[in-house]
Structure 1
Amino acid sequence: MSPTQITYGLITPVLISCWFCAVPIAALHAEESGWHLVWSDEFDGERLDYSKWGVEVNAFGGGNEELQLYTDRPENVRVVDGNLIIEARADRPNISGTTRDYSSGKVRTKHRGDWTYGRFEVRAQMPAGQGIWPAIWMLPSEESYGAWAASGEIDIAEYKGQEPSRVHGTLHFGDQWPKNASHTKHYELPIGTFADRFHVFTLEWEPDQIRWYIDGDLYQSQDHWHSAGQPFPAPFNKPFHLLLNLAVGGRFVGAPDSNTTFPLQLRVDYVRVYQKS
C-alpha cells in the first residue's frame, strides 16, 4: 500500500478534507512532495472568473469532426454552487448564421494562466452517453516548434461517454500532422464509473518525465518524446495552458445515438496548479 493511497484514504478514492483543518488532504500531499500552489480556481463565486478563463465561441466544432457549436451562453458555461458547469445541449444553436444540432462549452487559461512544468489537479465529474467527449488537457501557449503536433499537446484526461469507467492520458508530439506521434495509456476504475461521482485527475509535468494519476494512483509515466529537429525535452519545455471542454461527436467517440440523453454536464469542483521552487 503506497503512501499516496494512504494520503487519499482507504475507504473511498474521492478527495476528502481533513476534519481538523481547512486545508484539503490533496493539497497537504502536494506541499509535502515539494509542490507549492501557484494558481487555483475553486469556483466559489456566482460567475466565471474571466481574469482566469477565456470562453471559446466557435461555430465549427473542434477540428475533429465534432458536432457541437461552442458558445459563451450561460446555458453552456456557468458557475453554480461551487462548480463550473459545462453543459452540452441538443438545442440547434445559431451563431453568425451557422446552425448545428448541439451546443456546448469550452474554457481555457491561455494568457491568463500559462506554465512550464507543474502539478495540475482537476476534481471533476464526467457525463455518460454515446458520443460524449469531455476533456481536461493542455496546449502550448505559443507554437514555438511549429503547428500541431510539433509543439505538443498534453491530455490529462480524455473520456468516451460510452466507456464511463475508463479515462485516457495522452501525449502528442513529433512533427506537424500527419507526421505526428503520440503515447497513450488508459485507466480503468475498479468500481463504478467516472459519471457516478467526482474524481481527481492529476498530471505532474517535470523536465524529463510526465506522470498521470487518478485519485492519487499513478497509472502512467512518460519520459520519451521528441519534436522534429529539436532536442529533448522539446516540445514539452515551453509554456502550456489548460483547457476544459465537452465535445459532442467526433472521430474519438462517434456520434450520439437514441440512448444519449441531453442535456449532459461536465462538472468541475476545482482546478489547482502547483510548481516547485
Structure 2
Amino acid sequence: MKSKWRFIVGAVAAAVSLVGYCADAQRYRLAWSDEFDYKGLPDSTKWTYDVGDGCPVFCGWGGSEEQYYTYKRTNNARVESGYLVIEAHQEKFGDADYTSARVVTRGKNEWLYGKIEVRARLPGGSGTSPAIWMLPYFDDRPVKLPEDGQLDIMVHTGAELDVIHGMVHTSAYNLSLGTERMGHIQLSSVDKRFHTFSIEWTPTKIEWFVDGKKYHKVVDDGTGKDGWPFFNPFYLILNLSVSQGQGLESTSWPQRMEVDFVRVYQRKPKKRPQVDEFMDEGF
C-alpha cells in the first residue's frame, strides 16, 4: 500500500513539474547561459572579475568582508567536472588573510527583465557568505548605491545554514534604514545538495523562487525611482565572501560554492494572429 501511495505521489509531483516546465517554455526563451561544460578559467566571453578588497572607496566591499578577490586565479575560480567552483582559502594575500573570487558579467552581458536561474551548492562554513545578485550597468558612470538599485537573487550565511534570503536594495528600502524588502525560506542541506535559485523580473514586480517554489515578491509601489529603480539593464554577480563576525574561527578551509549552470530567459513576444487565421474563422 505504501509503495502504491509513493508511486501516486511521485506521479503527481512529476505531472506538476511538467506543467510548470511547459508553462515556462510557452512564456520564455533561453537568451543566455553558461553550462560550465569546459575546463579551466571561467569563459572570458561571458565573465570578468571584481578584484581586491574594495578599497579605497568600499573597503571590505561595503561591509566587514575579510577576503581579497583575485583575478584569473584558478585557486579561487575555475571550471572543473562540469561546475564553476568559487573557492575561499585562508591564506595571506596582500593585506588580507583570505582569498576568494567574485565573477561578474558586467560589460559582457546585461539584461532588462526576464527569468534568471542559477543551480548551485553552497558552502557550510560559519564565516562564509555566498551570493547570487545583480547590479545595474551604465556606460557613462559608475553605479550609485542604493539609489540605482541592487537585486539579491540569493544571499546565504553559514551562520544561518538552513536559511536563504532574497531582497532588493533601493533609496527607500534598504538595510541601513531598516526598511528592507526581504524574504526568506528554510532550506535544509544547502551544503550537501544542489538547489535552483531564481527570480522572475517584470516591469512591475520581482518574484523569488527556490526549486520552483515562490517564497517572496516585491512590486512597484508607485513611489518612483526611490522605491523602484529596476528599469535599467542589470548584470549578474556570483561571489563567496568571508566575514569575521560570523564565527570564522570555527571554519575549516577551503570553502567552496559550486555552480551547475546559469541561465537567463527572456519573455517571448506575444504572437499576433496571422491573416489566414482570421480567414479560417470566417472574418
1:65 corresponds to: 64
Query: Shift of residue 181 of structure 1?
Result: 4.8
- Report whether the alignment pairs 1:38 with 2:37: no
Counterparts of 1:108 and 1:26, CA distance in 2: 29
Counterparts of 2:108 and 2:143, CA distance in 1: 22
Structure 2: stretches of 5+ with no match in the other structure: 1-8, 55-59, 269-283
Q: Structure 2 vs 1, CA of residues 202 and 7 (structure 1 numbering), >3 Å: closer, same or farther?
A: farther
* Contact 2:125–2:251 (CA under 8 A) maintained in structure 1: yes
Query: Shift of residue 174 of structure 1?
Result: 2.1
Aligned residues: 250
Alignment deviations for residues 146-178 of structure 1 (CA, whole Å, 9 cap, x no partner): 720111000000001121111000111126986
- Report whether the alignment pairs 1:155 with 2:152: yes
1:113 corresponds to: 109
TM-score computed with the length of structure 2 as normaliser? 0.80
1:202 corresponds to: 198
TM-score computed with the length of structure 1 as normaliser? 0.81
Please give the residue correspondences for 1:132-143 in structure 2 after superposition, counting only pairs within 5 Å: 132-142=128-138
Counterparts of 1:44 and 1:132, CA distance in 2: 27
Counterparts of 1:267 and 1:238, CA distance in 2: 29
Query: Shift of residue 62 of structure 1?
Result: 1.7
Select the structure of larger CA radius of gyration. Answer: 2
* Contact 1:174–1:226 (CA under 8 A) maintained in structure 2: no
* Contact 1:127–1:195 (CA under 8 A) maintained in structure 2: yes
**SS of corresponding position for 1:57:** coil
* Contact 1:68–1:104 (CA under 8 A) maintained in structure 2: yes
Counterparts of 1:174 and 1:273, CA distance in 2: 27
2:47 corresponds to: 53
Q: Structure 2 vs 1, CA of residues 185 and 179 (structure 1 numbering), >3 Å: closer, same or farther?
A: closer
Counterparts of 1:270 and 1:145, CA distance in 2: 28
Structure 1: stretches of 5+ with no match in the other structure: 10-17, 19-24
Alignment deviations for residues 211-264 of structure 1 (CA, whole Å, 9 cap, x no partner): 00000001111114567x6487x41011000000000006xxx24433211100
Counterparts of 1:56 and 1:187, CA distance in 2: 29
What is the root-mean-square deviation in Å for CA atoms of aligned residues? 2.9
- Report whether the alignment pairs 1:276 with 2:267: yes
Higher helix proportion:
2
